[in-house]
Amino acid sequence: MEQKVNYNQLYTSMHDFFRLKGSSIVVLTKAAVIEICKHAMDYDILIWRIESGIWHNPGYEPRDVIDSIYDPPVSKETAIDNNLMFIKNLKDEPPEYDVFTILITNYQGLPKEHLYDKYFEKHPNN
């Protein structure tokens, strides 16, 4: 049974994000988003946008957006550089921006319905 996103919950792990198929709808900690960025290419993922905001426990107030400068399809090397750029930019975000949403896509431009396939192949019990 597929789990539903609780919009009043702050999620803390990469696994929560993927388990909930959470592109842009799961509110995450900075550590979780950095973990996703670090491992994105393990799953053929291009980070496309990160929105930062403030957590009101519960509730998310969006504040800033970091966009990719690339649209897929791109080379694997370009996708890696892009994803690492997001980590650097996240570290420069003001400390009061303590939560994030992330929008992902396949770096090769494959359809959205295949976005999570590689993750679930590597983590069948999640």
- Rounded-to-integer distance, Cα 115 and Cα 80, Å: 17
The confidence score (pLDDT) of residue 1 equals: 55
pLDDT digits (tens, 9 = 90+) for 90-105: 999 999 999 999 999 9
* Positions of the chain with pLDDT under 70: 1-2
Q: How far is CA 73 from the centre of its chain?
A: 18
Q: Using CA atoms, how far apart are residues 55 and 82, in angstroms rounded to an integer?
A: 26
Q: Which of 30, 6, 4 is nearest to 102 (CA)?
A: 30
d(CA 109, CA 111): 7
Check: CB of residue 100 under 8 Å from CB of residue 34.
no
Distant-in-sequence, close-in-space partners of 15: CB < 8 Å, separation ≥ 6: 123, 126
Domains and CATH numbers, the chain: 14-109 (3.30.190.30)
Query: What pLDDT does 24 receive?
Result: 86
- pLDDT value of residue 2: 67
At residue 126, the pLDDT reads 75
How much is the pTM?
0.93
The pLDDT of residue 13: 96
